[in-house]
Every structure is written in C-alpha cells, then in structure tokens.
A and B are shown apart, each in its own frame.
Chain A
Amino acid sequence: EAQVTQNPRYLITVTGKKLTVTCSQNMNHEYMSWYRQDPGLGLRQIYYSMNVEVTDKGDVPEGYKVSRKEKRNFPLILESPSPNQTSLYFCASSLLASGGEKLFFGSGTQLSVL
C-alpha cells in the first residue's frame, strides 16, 4: 500500500532533550516536506527536500534540522526542543521535485515539549 509513515504518533519530552521524528515513503517520491500545524495557523512548512541530499528551509525552520540521505526517508530532528515547538507535525511527499502536485500525508506526530 502506498503510504507515508511517521513515527512516533505521540511524543512527550522535556526541554532540551534531542529527538527525531521519522518519516518514510514507499512511493519513490522525489519531493518530501515537513509541516507543523497549530490552531488557527493552518499548516506551516518547516523544511522540504527535492531529492537526495537536497534540502531547503521552509517558512519556520528555526530549531529544526532535516536530512535526506535516502530517497525514502526524511527525518525531522529537534536538537534542543523548546515548549514553543509543541505542535502537530506532518510529513508529506509528492512525486515530482518541482512540487505543486498532489501531496500524500503521514498520520501526524503530536509533540509535547514540557
């Protein structure tokens, strides 16, 4: 089944403790992206990647890192999480590197930073 898999679904951590949220897609998509969703703000893009080893900042990249060593995986890393990073996070992918096409979303990761 074609899908985007995010883990974990829920994560509670404390300020400053490094964490990684994993994202994997099995559709050989070129484009992958991370979003955070906060009430009243919609989805805001954190980072995106057009292909292996090609990543770029979205609208709210501060406090986050990403890597794209393999085409299928695009982990989101929070080196030193802070409470303002408490949010619902989504990974998404689409077929073409040019973007602007149908996005496939993961189920989301609800992160709470205490």
Chain B
Amino acid sequence: SQQGEEDPQALSIQEGENATMNCSYKTSINNLQWYRQNSGRGLVHLILIRSNEREKHSGRLRVTLDTSKKSSSLLITASRAADTASYFCAPSMKTSYDKVIFGPGTSLSVIP
C-alpha cells in the first residue's frame, strides 16, 4: 500500500491565489519530502521536513508536519502559471533504511 496519499487529486486555481495540498501517511517517519513534476519530466525536490520539525519555509512554499495526525501540508502562496505541475509528498519510512515512498500526487493547474 502507498505510504503517502495526497489530497486533493486535482486542484485548479487562479493566478495569485494560494494553493494548499495535503498529505497523509500511515507509519512512523524520519522525514517527509515534497517534489514537483512538470508534465512527464523528472521530479524536482522542493523541501524536506524532519520529524522533529513542525514548519518549514522556502520562498513561496510553506510546509507543515503534524506527526500526531500523520499528515503534512504544502502551501504555495501567490501562485503563478509556472507552478502548474504535479506535486508529490514522499514520507521516509523507518525501516532498515529510510525508504522513500511516493503517493499518486496532486495535479495543480494555475490559470493565468
């Protein structure tokens, strides 16, 4: 079963609005990452938040982590058309090594 599940599956917003994507996972993690994928291209790392952190910022991105609820959220502020992409959360499971599991992703469309 997939470790990370993003919600919603698809999101469409106007340029300038904020976009929020959520991720839920099932077991204990060491960290959680978010990646972006432009259509059919390789994934690009956005941000990594460790299990002992609650919030992290990078430019227009804000990631929160609630380990008690086993959930994370990615907020993109003041969205741009160039933010149109799929976004994946990737929890790192506590196993013999830190296995990263990808969810099915959220498809974000930012309309100019």
* Docked CA distance A90–B100 (Å): 14
Which stretch of B12-20, B40-48, B72-80 is in the interface? B40-48
Chain B CB count within 10 A is highest, among A41, A101, A110, for A101
Q: Mind listing 30 A-B residue pairs with CB under 8 Å?
A: A35-B102, A40-B104, A42-B2, A43-B43, A44-B102, A45-B99, A50-B97, A88-B40, A90-B42, A90-B43, A97-B97, A98-B97, A99-B92, A99-B98, A99-B100, A100-B92, A101-B48, A102-B48, A103-B33, A103-B35, A103-B43, A104-B45, A105-B42, A106-B42, A107-B41, A107-B42, A108-B40, A108-B41, A108-B42, A110-B40
Identify whether the interface residues of B are mostly helix, strand, loop, or mixed.
Answer: strand
- Chain A positions near chain B (C-beta within 8 angstroms): 4, 35, 40-45, 50, 88, 90, 92, 97-108, 110
